[in-house]
Chains A and B, each alone.
Chain A
């Protein structure tokens, strides 16, 4: 691309086409999002005649009612607990396994690694009915762990692969030196590998968090009590109760996707990095 132009750029139809095309796609993406946000500020009557435009009268009450109800916060709390459990356990278990695969040579290592990575191919839906029965027999039905443990198991394959890839780049000499100095593998893992791996841990953690935060099928199967529902389940129940009171449902949707969008803006670097490197290396 030439930046050193001094004369005004001649009219380029390709640029115009590009601008129009991008604008159309941007509108396609934005309109449903804005309509949702704004719809929450309208009354039901206004929504019917004016679903696109700005509200004539801003109904802050729609949002306030939800924010002052315990229900919204309970859903977020449940989601937060399940996602935090899932992320913590995934990072712990996956990093230990990845460390072993990266730095400890032993008979059967590559076989066990391929066994774990098979998980990338398995459709979760196949396992879901037997999983329900297993979780029930373990007495974990209707508990946060009943949702979190299977989520950890399903996120292991990708997490171990990504972490192992990163751990392998930590110089082997460092480990050797540490071992000669009498440092144990465990201490090396704790005091060298993990601190050095913050970026990849953040990436894997963010991806796991987003997946767990948005998950629907597993919580749907494992939880029966409304009080334990994470927000995707809760919002479906809410929609069922308020079936056509769209102004309330839209306000509720907006408030529940807000945390996701904030997280995305804060962690976009990690999210994109995780998806693309996971894609290329997985």
Chain B
């Protein structure tokens, strides 16, 4: 090497931004090469397959179009009107609301409780963490199929429990009264471990001396939890809530193997509604309108939430 690795004191103290030295630095050419070689693939793929399709969804939603040829039959906002006039859409929206409610009121408290128990070191803690995290790793499709067996009215686990009480087993997934409830239970089973892991990661970064100091000052275990640990977890809790809601709004894969949104649309989510009505019948305009409504809900929620609850992060 012609020179040793540069470590002049001046460079350590103040890093001149590369832009400032661009004119005198011999590296400008290299920088240019990187810019025209390294960025375009990512930007191109992202624009072509994420951003443009979302813009196109807005455009297509104005047409009555089956996806073949060019869209010509402009019908303005009619697709939106058709969507909003469909009872099944409101059912799907209600179901997404239910999923959010269960995620926030059942899943997150469960995850938090488990995280508080498993963040401490004891024999088996790590194994239990991994066990609880396992459902999250499984594909939604596999999870859904496993539970369609669990719920099966002839061969399933629930049926067998019912029979052991001498009752005629119900077909939970085939009844409009119970299908959605059954789906909600699967959602908790699948996702609580993910949130538990988030909480455990956050708990492990908490300074233990804070809690010990409180204990020495006479705080009970519960008081320590209530007034120190949980407040320190607030950023993670807010994040968890964010993930839970965004994930709930987009739930699809789990519903398909369980119920396909049925019976009688009783367990549709917005995305399964989009799939059943837009994609499988190639009603591009109508489906795009559903997609745009979903987009508006997700993005509005995300920005509002970030603004209100995650300002400091």
Binding site for B on A (CB under 8 A): 1, 14, 18, 21-22, 25-26, 28-33, 35-36, 39, 44, 47-52, 92-94, 96-97, 99-100, 104-107, 112, 115-116, 118-119, 121-134, 149-150, 152-154, 156-157, 160, 172-174, 176-177, 179-182, 184-186, 189, 210, 213-214, 216-217, 221, 232, 235-236, 239, 244, 246, 249-250, 253, 256-257, 260-261, 264, 268, 271-272, 275-276, 279-280
- Tell me, rounded to whole Å, the shortest Cβ–Cβ distance linking A121 to chain B: 5
- Tell me, rounded to whole Å, the shortest Cβ–Cβ distance linking B97 to chain A: 16
A153 touches B11 (CB 8 A): no
Candidate in A26, A30, A52, A130 with the most chain B CB atoms within 10 angstroms: A130
Residues of A within 8 A of B89 (CB): none
Q: A116-B43, A260-B142 are in contact. List 4 more A-B contacts (CB 8 A).
A: A32-B146, A129-B287, A154-B50, A261-B134
B257 touches A156 (CB 8 A): no
A99 touches B34 (CB 8 A): yes
Tell me which of A36, A100, A133, A150 contacts B39 (CB under 8 A): A100
Q: Tell me, in angstroms, the Cα distance from A97 to B37 when the chains sit together.
A: 9
Q: In the complex where A127-B54, A127-B57, A153-B49 touch, is A96 in contact with B39 (Cβ < 8 A)?
A: yes
Residues of A within 8 A of B147 (CB): 32
B131 touches A173 (CB 8 A): no
B252 touches A129 (CB 8 A): no
B157 within 8 A of A: yes
B249 within 8 A of A: yes
Closest 9 CB pairs of A and B: A153-B49, A214-B139, A97-B42, A127-B53, A130-B56, A126-B291, A130-B53, A96-B38, A276-B201
Binding site for A on B (CB under 8 A): 1-3, 5-7, 11-12, 15, 17-19, 25-27, 30-31, 33-35, 37-39, 41-43, 45-46, 48-54, 56-57, 60, 67, 110, 113-114, 117-118, 120-121, 128, 130-135, 137-142, 145-147, 149-150, 152, 154-157, 159-160, 189, 193-194, 197-198, 201-202, 221, 236, 239, 243, 246, 249-250, 252-253, 256-257, 270-271, 274-275, 278-279, 284, 287-288, 291-292, 294-295, 298-299, 302-303
Residues of A within 8 A of B11 (CB): 173, 176
A185 touches B27 (CB 8 A): yes
- Tell me, rounded to whole Å, the shortest Cβ–Cβ distance linking A232 to chain B: 4
A-B contact pairs, 29 of them (CB 8 A): A21-B117, A35-B150, A48-B155, A49-B160, A107-B19, A115-B46, A119-B46, A121-B246, A121-B299, A121-B303, A126-B294, A128-B274, A152-B45, A153-B45, A173-B6, A173-B12, A185-B33, A186-B30, A189-B38, A216-B140, A216-B256, A217-B275, A232-B141, A236-B256, A253-B142, A257-B138, A261-B134, A276-B201, A280-B236
Residues of B within 8 A of A116 (CB): 42-43, 46
A123 touches B128 (CB 8 A): no
> Which B residue sits closest to A119, measured CB to CB?
B50
Residues of B within 8 A of A264 (CB): 134, 137
Residues of B within 8 A of A177 (CB): 3, 5-7
Q: Tell me, in angstroms, the Cα distance from A134 to B236 when the chains sit together.
A: 38
A125 touches B271 (CB 8 A): yes
Tell me which of A31, A96, A221, A272 contacts B133 (CB under 8 A): A272
Q: In the complex where A131-B53, A173-B6, A185-B31 touch, is A121 in contact with B137 (Cβ < 8 A)?
A: no
A124 touches B134 (CB 8 A): no
Residues of A within 8 A of B278 (CB): 129
Q: Tell me, in angstroms, the Cα distance from A217 to B257 when the chains sit together.
A: 12
B60 touches A236 (CB 8 A): no
B139 touches A96 (CB 8 A): no
Q: Tell me, in angstroms, the Cα distance from A152 to B113 when the chains sit together.
A: 36
Residues of B within 8 A of A107 (CB): 19
A261 touches B137 (CB 8 A): yes
A104 touches B31 (CB 8 A): yes
Residues of B within 8 A of A48 (CB): 154-155
Tell me which of A49, A129, A257 contacts B142 (CB under 8 A): A257
> Which B residue sits closest to A96, measured CB to CB?
B38
> Which B residue sits closest to A172, measured CB to CB?
B15
B50 touches A153 (CB 8 A): yes
